A and B are shown apart, each in its own frame.
Chain A
Amino acid sequence: MRVEGLTKSFGRQVIWSDVTLTLPPGEISVLLGPSGTGKSVFLKSLVGLLTPERGSIVVRDVDLVTCGEKQMYEIRKLYGVLFQDGALFGSMTIFDNIAFPLREHTRKSENEIRDIVTEKMEMVGLSGAESKLPGEISGGMRKRAGLARALVLEPEIVLFDEPDSGLDPVRVAYLNQLIVDLNARTDATFLIVTHDIGTARTVPDNLGLLFRRELVMFGPREQLLTSTDPVVEQFLNGRREGPIGMAEEKDAAQVEAELASLNEDDGRPEGASGPSGAPGGGVPPQLEPSDDVPPRRAVDRRQARVREMLHTLPEAAQEAIRASLDEPGRTGAAGPAGSGPDRDGSDPGAQGDGAGRGEADRGADRGDGGQGDAGRGDADRGARRDPGRGDAGRGDAGRGDADRGDAGRGDADRDGGGGR
């Protein structure tokens, strides 16, 4: 799937212009962006629900922007799309919803349909809810039902519109694992649109960031995670200091002042962490498929591809990629997830500092604290995922914070909602 020079505007308002990217087959890509940067619009353009003004979207040698309606409907059968709220048909039961694509597009008998639907429902953990109406189940269940429906035709391209919005952190973790497992099982191309940093850091092979009406960056995950681009850095660390403001953008002078103070602040190495102990730099290990799932076929393809483009990437990204390529599997002991709890320890100190400097408001700011905690929650999750690491003591300490982490995450979520 290739997107070139795509431009979309509503009336005179340009949503984004000149977006060019290629979704490598079988890999998981995440498209990030602050609220209101047209991520959902981008997704809708990819499936032909909105028509961009310029550019092309090429799937299997068909340009979706210029092709006819008939071709469009053929191409759409390759897609599976998970909408933000599941977009289930309100008048049908969950079972009928998931069976809908099969009944419309295949000549399978009711028995076959029943088997397939039951299997998919088990996969997303919805067994027993077959006869319920979408209005009778929770938002998380609707989302999972929407996912089952999107997958029932074995699509080649799966698009997720904020799979993690409105879900609790545990469910997000499960959902992310499910996404990785699905990718391993089906070898389909995945594109996830989100603003959850945890997902962005651990799930994808490729990352992209939309901001200020353009695609700031798109490339292998290491490229963005090690990037020193102010926008990318700010977003991936969930900081307030940087070009992204509450109302979309800040003016340049303010940004410079903030960044300068950020660098002087405490002499800590740039990018290591924000003033409130945000997750910081480094490339956390990627989620691996569960044990009962075959290995992802995309991994080898991606390694070959990334090796080829290695020389075009910035220094830091090259290093991170070399490290990950050398690393056999995920046993690399020096995983940054281990350093999460470390940073935990230094965190209160940092906040104390802030208060001492007379910038108490910043240190005490709930949003900041919340996001720091959220980061900690992440690290915690990472640690739990990997029982072989023997960090039991630290892991526990981390878990003691779990409550606060959750609360913080809730705050962060709500903040995001307010921004929208």
Chain B
Amino acid sequence: MTAMPVRALAQSGRLFGLGLDVVKATFRRPFQVRELIQQAWFIASVTILPTALVAIPFGAVIALQLGSLTRQLGAQSFTGAASVLAVIREASPIVTALLVAGAGGSAICADLGSRKIREEIDAMQVLGVDPIQRLVVPRVLAAMLVAVLLNGLVSVVGVGGGYFFNVVLQGGTPGAYLASFSALAQLPDLWAGEIKALVFGAIAAIVAAYKGLNAGGGPKGVGDAVNQSVVVTFLLLFFTNFVLTAIYFQLVPAKGA
């Protein structure tokens, strides 16, 4: 038996290799437009509703926390500013990523995994069709697209939820909440959030595809693959999020600093 760290490294290497293959295959003709549209529609349909439902309480929790914090500090007029900042910079990409990985990624992994154990992937290769180009690329692009769009949705719904809780339930002033929007947040925050969502979508789909294409050992293998793909994706997402955030603070100076 090969030593544990060596195997883990080999897995990482193969995962990265698949990522490179996907990038390479993206630019190879013919491009699978139909599959891309189908997959984008599919991923959107399984993620939109849960994302919106998660985003509302998420925005609310942030608003609640900030509301009491700002009151203690006597900075109530900045509640809106802080909650927008938190939602757009961090909460929104993370919620998007969790949903794309949990709902979209697990579906991709289960789909590819069951195709793998039914020998469909083998059959496709033997028919001279590259499954990465035909199946994986459209899924990765679809996940990236949907993640970016979902990120916008979560931002809007999250800010809306924050507004509702702050103004209606905590008795904040609507004018102060809205007026302070741009006190701390700036446009690059939104760009950063969208870029994060894009990267998270790609990671979620590539990990799901990798686990799905390497599923083995019958139906149980597919279940295991889905399980692993979700766990691995979450680990990678939070790590990537940390790195991206660190880079962002180096590149973009905070407003008024």
Contact = CB atoms under 8 A, between A and B. Distances in A.
B126 interface: yes
A76 B126 contact: yes
Interface string B98-134: 0000000000000000110011101111111110001
A397 interface: no
A73 B119 CA distance: 18
Interface in A68-94: 73-74, 76-77, 79, 81, 83-85, 87-90
Interface string A304-317: 00000000000000
Interface stretch (A100-108, A171-179, A222-230, A291-299): A100-108
A44 interface: yes
Contacts, number: 53
B120 A76 contact: no
A87 B125 contact: no
A84 B126 CA distance: 14
Contacts of B118: 85, 87, 90
Interface residues of A, number: 24
A210 B144 CA distance: 48
Best-buried of B118, B124, B127, B134 by chain A (most CB within 10 Å):
B127
Nearest to A103: B129
| Majority SS at the chain B contact face | helix
A153 B126 CA distance: 12
B35 to A, nearest CB: 11
Nearest to B123: A87
A87 B120 contact: yes
A89 B116 CA distance: 11
B127 A44 contact: no
Contacts of B115: 89-90
B222 to A, nearest CB: 13
Interface string B119-162: 11011111111100010000000000000000000000000000
Contact of B126 (A81, A85, A88): A81
A125 to B, nearest CB: 21
11 contacts: A47-B125, A49-B122, A49-B126, A74-B128, A76-B127, A83-B119, A88-B123, A90-B118, A100-B127, A104-B134, A153-B127
Interface of A: 44, 47-49, 73-74, 76-77, 79, 81, 83-85, 87-90, 100-101, 104-105, 146, 149, 153
Report, nearest first, the 10 A-B pairs whose CB atoms are least far apart. Answer: A87-B123, A87-B119, A76-B128, A77-B128, A81-B126, A83-B119, A101-B127, A47-B126, A73-B128, A104-B129
